Amino acid sequence: MTERRRVIVTGGLSGIGHAVALDLAGKGHRVAVGARDLESRSRREAFGALTEAALAGGGEVRADALDLTDPASVTAFCARATERFGPADVLVNAAGVTAEQPVQGHSEALWQKVIETNLTGAFRMIRACLPAMIAQGWGRIVNIGSTAATVGWKDNPAYCASKAGLLGLTRCVALEGAAHGVTCVMVSPTWVDTPMMESDLAQIVAREGKGRSVAEARAEIAAQNPQGRIIRPEEVAALIGFLIGDAAKGITMEEVKITGGALW
């Protein structure tokens, strides 16, 4: 087994973040996951799955409340994770939100929610974890981006702007850490089969008002992909598992896409 690492995964009880946490806990790493919601049934079940994976693979897991829009919450979460496992070797910024809304009529509150979570929240987590990584001469930071970073999408200005900004942040962090054994990359998938995708599709079909179902929207997206399918969270997790290893030390300041050949 590779060296046992101390890992933080934001958004670790749902979607891509949960798949990453499952993979790494099952490989024996010590994983602290952050989530805004810890008490709903789906989140409790997700943490149960993490516990089982850790027990099977020799890892450890911890779940704690984390609100990326609140600097005090970020500070407290990182302090508790450090107290439990020590300073993070690996940070995976997987938490994210989206909303279907054109620029016309876009509320300030909705814009701030998306930008604060997807971009500023990642910045706050990196700012908290980077100094210890540089001090120890080793670190891996992976930001979950999106094809939205480079391809526009109707009615998604805040989400597209947040992911484009995250790509810029990724490049700057990579340069800051390069001389100290710290890498930073952004993994940008197309549509991924997650609860966030389901929620987004529900918003899309509701705004269309054409009577199309979410299932029909999913089938159309799969048919439009050159591989005729929707990417699975486990595929993203597998790539991240490689990127945090020593074999990937030369991969930094990059945007790595998982699209099945799709542009979006």
Q: 22 and 13 in contact (C-beta within 8 Å)?
A: no
**Nearest CA-CA partner of 78 in 14, 34, 42:** 34
Token pair listed for 155? 């009615």
Q: Where are the domains of the chain?
A: 6-190+234-251, 193-230
CA distance 176 to 158: 27
Residues 195-223, mean pLDDT to the nearest whole number: 94
Residues 227-252, mean pLDDT to the nearest whole number: 98
193: Cβ contacts below 8 Å, ≥ 6 apart: 230, 231, 232, 233
Average pLDDT, the chain: 97
148: Cβ contacts below 8 Å, ≥ 6 apart: 156, 159, 160, 163, 164, 264
Q: What is the DSSP string of 210-245?
A: S---HHHHHHHHHHHSTTSS-B-HHHHHHHHHHHTS
Percent of the chain with pLDDT over 90: 96
Judged on CB neighbours under 10 Å (0-12, 13-18, 19+), 235 is: middle
**Residue 169 C-beta-side C-alpha neighbours within 13 Å:** 26
Residues 178-206, mean pLDDT to the nearest whole number: 96
* CATH fold label, 6-190+234-251: Rossmann fold (3.40.50)
Is residue 2 very low, low, confident or very high in pLDDT (cuts 50, 70, 90)? low
Residues 217-233, mean pLDDT to the nearest whole number: 97
**Nearest CA-CA partner of 36 in 119, 129, 121:** 121
Q: DSSP letter at 120?
A: I
Residues 130-146, mean pLDDT to the nearest whole number: 98
Give the per-residue pLDDT at 69.
Answer: 98
Q: Is the pTM of this model over 0.95?
A: yes
Residue with the two structure tokens 């990059």: 254
End-to-end CA distance of the chain: 36
Judged against a pLDDT cut of 60, whether residue 117 lies above it is answered with yes
CA distance 197 to 98: 9
CA distance 33 to 143: 15
Catalytic residues: 159
Chain segment 60-106, per-residue pLDDT in tens: 999 999 999 999 999 999 999 999 999 999 999 999 999 999 999 99
Is residue 1 very low, low, confident or very high in pLDDT (cuts 50, 70, 90)? very low
Residues 100-120, mean pLDDT to the nearest whole number: 97
Give the per-residue pLDDT at 247.
Answer: 97
Judged against a pLDDT cut of 90, whether residue 54 lies above it is answered with yes
CA distance 104 to 227: 35
Residue length, the chain?
A: 264
Q: 161 and 230 in contact (C-beta within 8 Å)?
A: no
Judged against a pLDDT cut of 90, whether residue 210 lies above it is answered with no
In whole angstroms, how far apart are CA 29 and each of 48, 57, 89, 137, 249?
A: 16, 8, 10, 19, 18
